[in-house]
Chain A
Amino acid sequence: AQSVAQPEDQVNVAEGNPLTVKCTYSVSGNPYLFWYVQYPNRGLQFLLKYITGDNLVKGSYGFEAEFNKSQTSFHLKKPSALVSDSALYFCAVRDGPNQGGKLIFGQGTELSVKP
């Protein structure tokens, strides 16, 4: 069965410092991996995805993520955090192209960036 784990409920970072939000996954086939961000009372916004190719994926708002097959991880990173990055972040997985778009989400990590 597919699963996604985000081991940290909350990450606190000072503005200007690098940030990492962790994600590990478990799938039977080749994973399609995603990061989404959610602001209060809003839907999810797509940040980036890994389907195939380079392990380092660059996405929106300066975020990037590194796919590590041996560690089954897909951590989200940003070199310099902004206060406006404070939000709820979700890692998600889809078990290849044949699941009709159904995503399995991690439990979410609340990122707080302080000035």
Chain B
Amino acid sequence: GAVVSQHPSRVICKSGTSVKIECRSLDFQATTMFWYRQFPKQSLMLMATSNEGSKATYEQGVEKDKFLINHASLTLSTLTVTSAHPEDSSFYICSRSGPTEAFFGQGTRLTVV
């Protein structure tokens, strides 16, 4: 069964509003989780590393104020897309690492209208 649960799977929001995406580690306390963004039929781009109890580490070029990450507990990381614009429309995927391989959530399709 799934070890990483991501919610919602699909969301439509209006421009200028904020949207929160949740990522839960179901079987393991994760001090670190990862957020990726994926454009249609393209690869996954790492946006940020979510660290429990401390600030997230953002990849170069990712706006910290637009993509707010909170990792308040060992099983939950959230990504909030603030003041959403149509160009933020994308597929967002979270993951957590295991001893060797990583485990991924089912993804969230965000559409900003």
Q: Does A27 contact B (CB under 8 A)?
A: no
Q: Does A74 contact B (CB under 8 A)?
A: no
- Please name all residues of chain B whose beta carbon is closer than 8 Å to the beta carbon of A42 when the two chains form the complex: 106-107
- Please name all residues of chain B whose beta carbon is closer than 8 Å to the beta carbon of A34 when the two chains form the complex: 101-102
Interface string of A91-111 (1 = CB under 8 A from B): 000000000111101111010
Q: Does B49 contact A (CB under 8 A)?
A: yes
Number of A residues with CB within 8 Å of any CB on chain B: 22
- Please name all residues of chain A whose beta carbon is closer than 8 Å to the beta carbon of B106 when the two chains form the complex: 42-43
Given contacts A42-B107, A88-B41, A107-B42, contact A102 B49 (CB under 8 A): yes
Q: Do A41 and B49 touch (CB < 8 A)?
A: no
Number of A-B residue pairs at CB separation under 8 A:
58
Q: Which of B14-22, B66-74, B78-86, B91-99 contacts A (4 or more CB under 8 A)?
A: B91-99
Q: Do A105 and B101 touch (CB < 8 A)?
A: no
Nearest A residue to B31 via CB reads: A100
Q: Do B42 and A44 touch (CB < 8 A)?
A: no
Sample (28) of A-B pairs whose CB atoms are under 8 Å apart: A32-B100, A34-B102, A41-B9, A41-B10, A41-B107, A41-B109, A43-B6, A43-B93, A43-B105, A43-B106, A43-B107, A44-B93, A44-B95, A44-B104, A49-B100, A49-B101, A88-B41, A100-B49, A101-B32, A101-B96, A101-B97, A101-B98, A102-B46, A102-B49, A103-B46, A105-B44, A106-B43, A108-B41
Q: Does B58 contact A (CB under 8 A)?
A: no
Interface string of A65-106 (1 = CB under 8 A from B): 000000000000000000000001010000000001111011
The range of chain B's interface size is 20 to 34
Complex-state Cα separation, A43 to B91, whole angstroms: 9
Interface string of A28-44 (1 = CB under 8 A from B): 00001010100001111
Complex-state Cα separation, A100 to B100, whole angstroms: 10
Complex-state Cα separation, A36 to B97, whole angstroms: 14
